[in-house]
Amino acid sequence: QQQVKQSPQSLIVQKGGISIINCAYENTAFDYFPWYQQFPGKGPALLIAIRPDVSEKKEGRFTISFNKSAKQFSLHIMDSQPGDSATYFCAASKNTGNQFYFGTGTSLTVIP
């Protein structure tokens, strides 16, 4: 059973556009929601993360929006650049020292 559902599977965006990736979860015990960026042949790199006590967190061009009642969260990449082309994974966990449940990933391509 997929604990975290991610969409879309792939996304093509023009340079300068906004990339939006969505995730949904069921387990209300989750209290930490990170996003990871992965380039081919590399390990996932932590991009940004949010706790359920806030509805939005912004770091540079990356913003997480969190909707606790809908059990959904999304990653927005503003002013998307070709260098942002990568696979993005959302994840969720409960408490510290626990496994992450990952979404299935979104392959983002930013066209120059």
Partner 1 sequence: NAGVMQNPRHLVRRRGQEARLRCSPMKGHSHVYWYRQLPEEGLKFMVYLQKENIIDESGMPKERFSAEFPKEGPSILRIQQVVRGDSAAYFCASSPQGRHEQFFGPGTRLTVL
Please report, as ranges, the residues that interact with partner 1 according to CB under 8 A. 6, 32, 34, 36, 42-46, 49, 89, 93, 96-105
Single out the residue of 59, 53, 60, 48 nearest to residue 23, CA to CA: 48
SS (H, E, C) 36-88: EEECCCCCCEEEEEECCCCCEEEECCEEEEEECCCCEEEEEECCCCHHHCEEE
Nearest residue (CB) to partner 1, 39 versus 78: 39
80 vs 93, beta carbon nearer partner 1 = 93
User: CB of 51: closest distance to partner 1 in angstroms?
Assistant: 9
Closest CB 4 distance from partner 1, rounded Å: 8
Q: Which is nearer to partner 1, 96 or 112 (CB)?
A: 96
